[in-house]
Structure 1
Amino acid sequence: MSTDIKAPTFPESVQDGTIATWHKQPGEAVSRDELIVDIETDKVVLEVVAPADGALTEVLKGEGDTVLSNEVIAKFEAGAGGSAKADSDSDEKGDAKEASAEQKDDSSAPESGDAGDKILSPAARKIADENNVNPASVKGTGKDGRVTKEDVLNHVKSGDSKPAAAAPTPAAAAPAAPEGDRVEKRVPMTRLRKRIAERLLEATSTTAMLTTFNEVDMGPVMELRKQYKDKFEKIHNGTRLGFMGFFVKAATEALKRFPAVNASLDDNDVVYHGYQDIGVAVSTEKGLVVPVLRSTENMSIAEVESTIRDFGLRARDGKLGIDEMTGGTFTITNGGVFGSLLSTPILNLPQTAILGMHKIQERPMAVNGEVKIRPMMYLALSYDHRLIDGKEAVQFLVAIKELLEDPARILLEI
């Protein structure tokens, strides 16, 4: 029975998506829940899987095409295509059905005498065409001498295939590039990267963005972490005690004291949020994503660390949902993990502030009249000067500094 394959339901913040990669082609066998196609949106790459064992019968949207929410992108037939396992002896009913259909169409058979008796599956014929393989030269191992996809692949690997006759070389063909010449590679920008660029440009051109800096002595947090990290990990089922949990809790407490930093702008309105939803920037191969920790005022440090670790793993595998990356009242980005000593982070609209963490570096500091080597970190707070005054921004950053230099104040909320 034929079934429509539809694009996922996009949330209101996502207008459409783009077909990124078709992992299966028409006629190729697929198993239930096997990945069929990737759809790239402004925020995340969504995966569409097979609803049952079968095969695609028709692809309606090609790679690079724009699709809307719930739009039909392909046709699927359950039971077609046979078994998805890579077994050269595969002779399931779906394959036999496809072979019978091809036998009826004499125009698709090769012109050579031996090739006319060959039966190729659609996948085998596609691979043969792509590699300039004459089907007559491939030994079929399937039922009744049928040439399977694996037969063609094995033939190509063995080096027995003979490429088709090359077209005559044009007289004005460009000369080959000399050895050692500089080369360039041009690839289209991904939809996610385009959207990131648009938002960054929008933030720099539509806000009065300003950055203030401070530095924090990370010694107290490092000592606390050193003292309790083993016990913490044991009690909390393998969750490691890092630095981000302290920063999230310190930022949460500071946001309570300075509501404007936790606010957002909606046209001419200022929206003050009575909760703290903190986004944590995560770098992936496809670009920067910002999953959001919801209601951090109600989360423990262990919950923060565990959730951030889960975000990182799923972001790497492209498993984050769109709803997990929407909203947020404040953002923290950590360039220190890559060695950044100082930077000016760009606002994550419509938020009005973002905190930048950096590399911990030992530096000589004056402590009680003495020079001591201390593990110091520069902090950067970029903020929208249309809503936040310099005084508030500086006091907010100082509050975070004081909370981190005396971690007991985070627990006591003082």
Structure 2
Amino acid sequence: MKAFTQYFTGLPNQNVTSHTVHASARISRLWLTLCGFGYLVVFAATGYGQQSEHEGDIADVRVIRRVEQHPYAWKIWQPVIIQGDKKKELLVAFGVQVNGKNDMGDILASLSRDDGDTWEEPVSVFDHRERQGAIQFAYANPVLYRAPGQDIIWCFAMRCPMVNRNSEESQLVGAFSADGGRSWTRVEMAMHYTGPLILCSTPVEAEFNGLKRFLLPAHRNTLQKDPFGSRDHFILSSTSLLDWKLEAFIPQPESGKVFLHEGNVAPGDAPGELKIVMRTANYENDNRTTIPPRAYSSVSSDGGHTWSPAKEEPELHNAKSKGFFGRAADGTHLYVYNDGPAQRDKTPEFPYGGRTSLRYKTKPPGGTWSVEKTFYDAGIKNSYPTLVEVAPGDFRCVWDSGTADTPRTHIHFGKLKVKP
């Protein structure tokens, strides 16, 4: 019964009874139905749309996909969300980690036509089983993007030789959909930046010298395998979404090097300004956080062509985990993040390590960051949130979740309203 309960709620067994009588009643009904009808109900219940009980401001929580639905995989992770072609349509892409690999596998996309209440069977965007000649690739870190005024949806991701254990040495790969995410056509990018890269954020549109361009944040971690490598954040640019060049590096902090990575770019505080807020770690030893554990930021006043030296954001916690940084239609900035320690650092408050509860802060135009608020907390692992604004102050959100002690077993969806 405990295993059944945990599978259908995503909640740790030991905490299920404390999450409300309503949840227990729903679970009991499912269990009784299972006893009467067996596998027929198991099949129906493993579909999409299950709710979960939790603390936080997220509403209408649903499960989009579970790792058990992919027998060749051991994790399901890093979702990204955008609006679809029609009202109430939402499109989510996510990764499925194949067995034996650290953070790479397939990229799938799933469509909702009822504002996230239910989700269709996902379709393949990039499949590690499809060889390119003699070479077999695995994929990671999808980002979805629709250029203003266009119907085409793009999915950019990372491509890495399957022989590698992880995806740190990846190349940019792209695919587009002309039917709202129901099918995908892969396209080879024209790359004028030739080094490895790691993606984690959607492109933004900017203007430099009167020319509109797309900016794509990325970073590299060649120091992991090469003592003469580096850990740097940079910006790629394109006028077409097909050819990409190196536009700029984010300068290191004047106080000393920091591993800057997985940054999100959004409009800044001043008119015409862009701001990037980045995940951080110790530069020499990326198993350690910065001291104190904080996000760092940089700004550009010329459309992303040059950037200020990175500096600490004293109000924004970051313990080596991707956060979300964006700006709402009314100018309010939003930062969603994991509180607590790093993923593998255990404390009395976090007995299974960090990347559990998700918190957020808001900052009105010209104001300061708010107190910490709870985004989602259910006593389980949660990480890598991504949000899209569908109406002023009204966000649709996705993140990967797990059990109390195991990360990334399912993909969650929810709704968040941010007050001015």
TM-score, scaled relative to structure 1? 0.21
Instruction: Report which of the two structures shows the higher radius of gyration computed on alpha carbons.
Output: 1
Give the TM-score normalised by structure 2: 0.21
Q: Which has the higher strand share?
A: 2
